[in-house]
Each structure stands twice: as structure tokens, then as C-alpha cells.
Structure 1
Amino acid sequence: MTFSLLVGLKNNLVYTQCFYQQTRLLYPTIELVFVSFRSVDGTHQWLDSLQDDHVKYYYEDRERSLSDTYNKCIELATSDYVIFAHNDMVLASGFIEQLAALQTDQRVIFYTTVEPPIFADDPRPGKIVQDFGTDIDTFQRDAFFQFALDEQARNEQTGQTAVTTSQGIFFLATSRRLLLEMGGLDPLFNPMFCEDDDLLLRLSLKGINMIIGLNVLCYHFVSKTSRFSAEYVHRTRQIERQSNRNFIRKWGFRNSAAIPHKYDIGLVLTNGTSAALRELEPWASIVYTDLDPAPYIRDEQPFTAINLTKKIKPLTAERVNGVLISLDARKADTAQLEQVAFLQEIIYHRLTKPRSSLKQLWYRLFPAFSWRGYRIRIIDPTTHEAQLIYKELTYA
């Protein structure tokens, strides 16, 4: 069983060098794969200077997304299994050995990150909040290594070195072949954010088992090359907003939804306004409207790879969607517009909750109903989330 550590780079050379040095102290021959797009701090020159037969690397001066970066890593890797890593982390002793004990072709393993209390109020499975330094200069390496040994011993004593989970994050290891079959990460999320939620949803829909390796430990300084980097610190909120909108465009629901079903929704928007279109557009497969969409498309198209000119159609266009939802924007207030977020769930419950044969017959005979100002007609209840597991979509 072989592993490759995949590391996407964007400046912050000092952290990359630290990651490389600390990893080589533990694992002199494990394959390291570095990919950098448009680093300008000497990262590319440093990569060229490496004299290491167990490093593969690639760089370009053009800008690419985080998904593009890790997809290139997956392509370059030669091991059976790959580990998505960050350059702002330090692996604990036993990291690979503990991972190998758990890894199979049908598993995603989330490794455990020990982090300073930067996001202490944001708990998630596989995170331990323990402060061993917020940066390289303050990092208490020996104290962290001892903590990791103690944590591993405690877990061994209790007999619990892994737990199953339905939640995950980008700190994972899985089969390289599986990722290649699925088309890797989706560059729709540009420059970043939501690509991990998207991938994990696809893996879950495919039926891959997900577990947290409690003894697969590393220290994570937290977002040194993303949220808190010099390049992105002032743009993080904007990038998150546009990534969340693109996730909804792809899947039809928020990335925290409990019911992962994608219905083919055609939104019929009459007396359209720009505010209504901005709120509603991501939630529909096609929008039919009497509003001239040109100003909206001009403003929004730079933030999505989905072709909005093809997505937003005139009211006279043929309507071929499985579910048609109609709304008169003139009669809808802001609160009603925001209810669009719940329509997938309303449709799902309408189709699955009626237990009596009389209600089922009624819904078949009268497939149209109203809900909070929306008129909903179910023509074909087929869901399409499974179609998004494998293929690499062409959004244009």
C-alpha cells in the first residue's frame, strides 16, 4: 500500500519549506507532490532547486483554482492512495502507519487535525483544539509530538482508533483511481471553497464509507494559504458567497442540506425584477422570465462557469423541466423570495410523506399545489443528483 502526499501551493514559501523538512524527517521516501499556480515569492525556483527523487512537482505562472491545483496533483501522483494535505501543517509520528491500517479502496479516511483556537467556536469531527503555536515561529514541536503520542496511546487503550462519520472536510485520504474515475475536484468553485463539500457529497452518493482516523494526527496552523493569506484575507467573504451560489447552481440546495435530491426545476418568473432574479436564479435549472436579463448576466457571469445566457430564457421558451415553479415577483416580498431555499425540501416531502393511499391518489390526480406564493407543478419527479457523481460537467 503506497501513499502520495498532495500539496497545493500558493506563495507562503516558508511554510512549504517547513512542511517539506518536517515530513522528510519522518518519511524520507514518501512521494510528495507539489503543484503551484502563479506563486510569486520564489516557490517555483525552490521547487526547481530540490534534489529529491521522491518529489514530483508542476508549476505555471497563470492563475488556476484550488480544484485545478489538486487535480494536477492527482494526475502526477503514482501511489495507490493520495492524501490531500496543506503546506501549513506538520505530521505527527505514525501518521502514515496509522492511516495505512485503516485505508481501503472503499473508504475515505479523514485524518485528525490539532489546531490552535482560531476557529474554536466552529467544531467539526476530526478536530482537536489545542494550542501549540499559531505560526512557525511559535510552534512547540516537541510538545505537539508528545501530545500526539499520548492521544494515540489513549485511543489504543479505549480500543477506538476510528469512528464513522457523515461529515468531513478536505483533510482526507482515498484511492487515487477512485478520484480519477470521478473526474477529481470541480473547478466550478473558483478560486476555492465548496470544492471539498462537492467532492464529499459525490463520494457519499457513490456509497463510499467515511471514517475519521483518530490516531492519524497532524498539527494545522489554519488557513495560512487561503483565508488568512495576504492575497485572500480581504476577499474571503466575497469568495465564499460566490462559491455557495455556485454550489446551489450545481446541486439545487445548500451544502448543509439534509436531503440531497436535485430536481429539474424550471422557474417561471413573471413581472420579474433584478432583485428577484438575483435571489432565485441559483436555485433553478432554467429561469423563464419577462425581465431583460442582460444587466444581471453582465454582473453575475464573471463569477460562474455556468452559462447564464443559456440558463435564463424568455417566458415564451418551451418549458421542458420536471418541476415548474411559478412566482409573480410583483406580489412577492423579500421574505417570500428567500423561501426558495426550502422548495426542494417541500417537493421531496410532497412526494414521499403521504402514507395513505387516498392522499397518494390525490397527489397523482392533482400534481399542482401552492406554497407561500409559489405555484408548484410536478410533471416528472425524477431526481438527478446521481448524474453529478462522475462526469466532469461542461457548464458552458
Structure 2
Amino acid sequence: MSSTDIEPAESRRPARYHAKREAILAAAALAINEQSAKGLTLADVGRRVGLTTTSVTYYFKKKEDLAAACFSRTLDKLLEILDQALEEPTPQLRVRRYLSLHMARLARIQAGQEAPFAVLSDLRAMEDPLRGQLLAGWRTVFRRTRSLWGSPATRVHADLYGARAHLLLEKTFWLPVWLDRYDAHEFDRLEARMMQLLTHGVAAEGQSWAPELIPLVQIQDDETVNRDAFLRVATRLMNEVGYRGASVERISAELKVTKGSFYHHMDAKDDLITACYDRSFNIMTTAQRLSDTVAGNHWRRLSSVLASILNLQLANGEGLLRTTALTSVPAHEFALMLERSHRIAQSYAGMISDGVAEGSMRPVDPFIASQGLVALQNAAFDMRSWASTMPRERAVALYASSLAFGMFDDRVLEAL
């Protein structure tokens, strides 16, 4: 499915029709970004563009059709950017072009000249057949992104290029979270610093990938269903189908308990996402705090934190709550959680600054590097299927290598 696949009769409609349809799509994308696709309503979109609900249904019969059209539009735009990037002759120039096109788009959005994309976090929560069509579109985007590095020579190169593609996409999806701290006239400088990070990574010349895993959680082997068990299952389901898709019934069914058991541990479902975020944030801050116990330089400490969190994220049955679920929380809770995420990034920035001063890390921009690290650990949950095809240690090393050594350095393969 593609928003460009317009039926002949549709293409003959007047320009006014297409202009209003574009306005509806832009308003719907904003609504999805604010409150998720599940929270989207035709009435809300109508209010945003000055139309009645009935008038909106003239363009989109159901809210599911409108959400799917928004997601399809995002996928189409990503393919357009990737096709332009693929015109360049080398992987490094292709990634540079890809990043430059995204930064230019975000500058236009900040100037009010272009509407934002609809974020794709709720794509998996759509119902079939729309879900299947959209996921097929996403796989096309992923394969096109992976092709920025050319044809892989071996299976391990294919795995590495897949990790790089996923992380590059996630880094660009994460940009709007922190880029609003800067004015558009600074974007060229930020782009250059991001490209430096993508090219060379954080680790200084001569540093290797030899992390020490930090114990973060204790997984119970018995069948006792405690509060943490609810949080682990709820975290996984919200990552997979969104907050609104992770119903109390579905969570309870996964644990083979009654809804009453759920409410024994939680006063209300609205408390669930806050509890899941608290658990996830606590795990991340624990890893940062315990890094002081790791022997070696600051790079080894940072890489140990990263490896430990990725080891958790890539495991079946575990994981941290993705920040994409933030679209489902009330505005005041959203602000508090986002601020806590920024504090975690700030802690990473401090670790990176120490490493730069010591010489174990490159002289990168600590803030940009820390946001890249947050994006990396946040997105890793979606790579569990990819990771299941190889030893966990290899998956962690391959996925982390983009931040450690850059997206064009294959030295991580020497250690595998």
C-alpha cells in the first residue's frame, strides 16, 4: 500500500479536494504523534482543520484508514529520502546524504514550512489487513536502508549491515526528541557532529570491545506472579502493540491469571505505564551507577553499561519500555518522563566527557553522543528476532559497534 497509488478516478478530483486531504493527513499525523494512533479520532482531526466529522469521512471512512494513510505517507517519504541517498557512490556519502536530507526536513518543520511525519511506533498495533500491508512497507524501508552499505560479502556482514540500518533509522526518528533545543541556524553544525559520530564512533583509536556485564535484574525461575512479573509482561506488550493495545485482559492472559490479580498489584491501568517506566529508568540508572565498579578506563565502563543494557534488551521475556509509549501518557506525566530520560542522557554525557578528557574516547560532542546512546539502547528491543539467530554476545557486539567504532569500521568483526 502506498499513498502514491491513487486510483484513476481519484487522480481526476479537483485540486481543492487534494489540498484538503493533505491538510487532514497533516493534522492526523500531529494527532498520532501526540496521542498515538489508537487515540486518534476523526472528530479531533476535523476540529484541527475546521471540518465536521462527517466531512472528514468523505476523505477517510474510518479512523483506521486515516491512520494507515498517515503511516503509509511516512514510509513513502522515507523511501524518497533513501532513493536520493542511494545516488551517492559510497556508503559513507550515502549515509551523509540521508542525514542531510533529514536535517533539512526538520529545519523546514521548525520553520513551519512542512508538516511532521507520523511516528511509526503504533504501526504494529494496527489490525490486519492494514497491519500486514504497512509492515510490508516497513520491511521495504529497512531493506532499502540496509542497502546503503552495499551487498554484504558474508552472513556476518549482512547481520552487521542490518544492525547499522536499524540504528540509523532509529537515530533519525529520535532527532525530534532533542533537536528542539537548538535553533535551525545551528543545524549544519549539529549535522557535522552527528556525521563525525556516525563515521568514527565514540571509542578512541586503539580501544577494543571488551565489556564486563553488569548484573541488572534477577529473573525468577518459579511460577510466582509478582508485581515485577506484571511489569515485565506489560513492558513487552506495550513495546509490541502500544499502551492502548496492551489491555489488562491481554496482560493477565499472558500470565495466566485473572484481571483481579492484576488489580491486586496495580490500582489502575493508568498507573501501569508509570510503573513500567520507573522500572526501566531504575535499571538504566543502576547500570550507570554500577559502572564505577568496572575495572579499566572510562571507555570500558561506558561500554560495559551499554553491553549490559543491550544484553537485557535483546533477551526474550525481558526488556525496557520504549520511549515511543510516551505518546500514551497525560501531558504532565510525559514531561516528567521525558525529563528523566534527558537526565539519563546527561549522565551518559558526563561519562563520555570523562572518557574524552582521559583519552579513551574521541573528542565527540557529549550531548549528541549521549542522545545517540539513548536511541541505541531504546531501539534494541525491536531487534530480538535478529539477535535470536546468533549468540547473544555477538548480537550485542554487532549492535553496539555503530556507536563504539562508527558505521563504516568492521573491526568489531575481528573479535567475533
TM-score (norm 2): 0.24
- Structure number with greater CO (CA < 8 Å, separation at least 6) is 2
Q: Which is higher, the Rg of structure 1 or of structure 2?
A: 1
TM-score (norm 1): 0.25
Query: Which structure's residues are more often helix, by fraction?
Result: 2
